Amino acid sequence: MDLFNQSQEPKPRTFEKHLLKDGEVWYMPNFIPSDKAKDYFKTLLNNVNWRQEEIKLYGKTFPVPRKTAWYGYDGFNYKYSGILCNPEPWTKELLDIKRVIEFFLKEERFNSVLLNLYRDGNDKVSWHSDNEKGLGINPTIASVSLGVTRRFDLKRKDDPDQKLRLELSPGSLVVMKGALQHHWLHQIPMQKKINQPRINLTFRTIKE
Ligand SMILES: O=C(O)CCC(=O)C(=O)O
């Protein structure tokens, strides 16, 4: 495996491990070398089948404040916020990234990926946890960032003063592990001054 075929001076790739109360967040800023991260960003921006989904809240319909897509092995459907996703087949780029994540995480195998496109700082994802039934108990979720740096916030459900804030730089990898999704919420807040796009890939394992 070429681990993204680094053309630049290779940087050591290790996780910063945030061991929280009931859950872990691992962060690797230079998971994908910057040239390669720019290439992936362009290819995914232009070639992914981005969808504008809608959600219903209090009887009204609203556009989701970002574009999304769902890719993976056939049959691994995903439902969140009332939106049912049938996977598009893996692209070469998504499979390459998935294989390198699995190399670093050793025991994890992912069968699908949710993609988010934040067109600018007005796009966001509100406080939530990835606790849908289909992900099973204590899911490991691996999240790759491409494009502009955005803030990622976590807070504990029963004690919002317990927080973690990370700046997700392009080419970085975040891994959420353990009981985190039961006890913590996360968000990408609106950042109105940002006028460039970001793509996020969250690799997941849907249980059959
Ligand atoms: O964009 C991100 O980094 C987070 C996305 C997210 O929270 C989700 O898709 O559930």
Averaged pLDDT, groups of 10, the chain, 208 residues long: 65 88 96 96 98 90 95 88 88 97 94 97 97 92 98 97 97 97 98 98 92
Q: Is the CB of 114 under 6 A from ligand 1?
A: yes
Is there a domain that residue 41 lies in? yes
Which ligand 1 atom is nearest residue 80's CA? 10
67, part of any domain:
yes
Residues 6 or more apart whose CB falls under 8 angstroms from that of 133 comprise: none
Taking the centre of ligand 1 as the mean of its atom positions, its distance from the CA of residue 114, in whole angstroms, is 8
pLDDT value, residue 66? 98
Residue range of the domain that includes 184: 22-53+62-204
Q: Which are the contacts of 157, defined by CB distance < 8 A and separation ≥ 6?
A: 129, 183, 184, 185
- Which CATH number covers residue 75? 2.60.120.590
Q: Is 15 a domain residue? A: no
Q: Does residue 153 line the site of ligand 1, with CB under 6 A? A: no
Which pLDDT does position 80 carry in this prediction? 78
Which atom of ligand 1 lies closest to the CA of 150? Answer: 3
* Predicted local confidence at residue 77, as pLDDT: 84
- With respect to residue 108, please indicate whether it lies within any of the assigned structural domains: yes
Asked, for residue 2, whether it belongs to a domain, the answer is no
Residue 188 in domain: yes
pLDDT at 137: 93
pTM (two decimals): 0.94
Q: Is 173 within the bounds of a domain? A: yes
Task: Let me know: does 100 contact 1? Beta carbons within 8 Å.
Answer: yes
Residue 200 CB less than 6 A away from ligand 1:
yes
With the most atoms of ligand 1 within 8 angstroms of its CB, the residue from 120, 125, 135, 140 to mutate is 125
Closest C-alpha to 145, from 127, 114, 168:
168
Q: How many domains does the chain have?
A: 1
Nearest residue to 4 (alpha-carbon basis) of 128, 95, 65, 70: 95
With respect to residue 148, please indicate whether it lies within any of the assigned structural domains: yes
Q: Using the structure block, give the residue that is written with the tokens 């061991």.
A: 19
pLDDT number for residue 56? 87
Number of Cβ within 10 Å of residue 91's Cβ equals 16
The residue whose CA has the least distance to atom 2 of ligand 1 is 200
Whether 69 is in the pocket of ligand 1, judged by its Cβ within 6 Å, is: no
User: Contact at 8 Å (CB) between 119 and 189?
Assistant: no
Report the interhelical angle of 34-47 vs 92-105 (nearest 10°).
Answer: 140
What is residue 135's predicted lDDT score, i.e. its pLDDT?
92
